[in-house]
A and B are shown apart, each in its own frame.
Chain A
Amino acid sequence: MSGMELVVETLSWVFILSGSFFSIVGAVGILRFPDFWSRLHAASISDSAGVILLLLGMAMQAGWTLITVKLFIILAFLFITGPTSTHAVANAALVSGLKPRSAVKSGTKGKSEDKTDDKADTA
């Protein structure tokens, strides 16, 4: 019994510490990456890995109580809404004509009749 508790305790340490590591990595990425589309990748790191690891670590600390149930409800809800809102933001940016940096610089150089390039600045 005590060995099992030690395993759970160590595992929850590992989960919480790596979850906070991934949160910081995602935040640094969202601050340092050059354009919007690459920043979405950094946001998804912190929205998936950070949330899963931190909430699982907290659930292991709480044991089998009502708190664990609430933590898993939060986890399930963030699982549904996180990708949905990321998709909504990306879709809105795409509709407004925001282009990735490399496509604006080199990819569409030859065929610059594409009107949507101009709208990226006004968005």
Chain B
Amino acid sequence: MFIVATIALFIAMILVLIRLFAGPTLYDRVMALNMFGTQTVLFIGLLGFLTGRPDFLDIALLYALINFVGTIAILKFFRYRAIGDVRRDITEADG
């Protein structure tokens, strides 16, 4: 059962990866990257069950945390061109 789910998730990850490379706009790529990260979390969990050692779930949880922060960081960088403090003039000009 786990091998079927793992193969299905692997195919889904490849399809999302195609959209990640082919995406016409930046937002398609960010959305595909976010979805790919979520599928990676599930994939790590399934792989742990498949090998009979479901201790990889800590890594999956860590990956979920990093994925969320990374998505927000990418969006913030491409809007303000800075990840740290945003300069006030840019913020006010953007509205």
| Co-assembled chains A and B | yes
Q: Known contacts A31-B15, A78-B64; is A85 also within 8 Å of B71 by CB?
A: yes
Q: How large is the interface on A (under 10, 10 to 19, 20 to 34, 35 or more residues)?
A: 35 or more
B72 at the interface (CB under 8 A from A): yes
B5 at the interface (CB under 8 A from A): yes
Give chain A nearest CB distance to B81 CB in angstroms.
13
Q: Which residues of A contact B39 (CB under 8 A)?
A: 23, 27, 46, 50
Complex: how many Å from CA A47 to CA B35? 7
| From B2, B5, B28, B67, residue with most partner A Cβ within 10 Å | B5
Closest Cβ neighbor of A50 among chain B residues = B42
Q: Is the CB of A30 within 8 A of B32?
A: yes
* Majority DSSP secondary structure for residues of A touching B: helix
Q: Known contacts A24-B8, A88-B75; is A82 also within 8 Å of B27 by CB?
A: no
Q: Is the CB of A82 within 8 A of B38?
A: yes
Q: Known contacts A54-B46, A88-B72, A95-B79; is A20 also within 8 Å of B8 by CB?
A: yes
Q: Which residues of B contact A67 (CB under 8 A)?
A: 54, 57
| From A26, A30, A70, A96, residue with most partner B Cβ within 10 Å | A30
Complex interface residues of chain A between 49 and 98 (CB less than 8 A to chain B) = 50-51, 54-55, 57-58, 61-62, 67, 70-71, 73-74, 77-78, 81-82, 84-86, 88-89, 92-93, 95-96, 98
**Chain A positions near chain B (C-beta within 8 angstroms):** 13, 16-17, 19-21, 23-24, 26-28, 30-31, 36, 39-40, 43, 46-47, 50-51, 54-55, 57-58, 61-62, 67, 70-71, 73-74, 77-78, 81-82, 84-86, 88-89, 92-93, 95-96, 98, 123
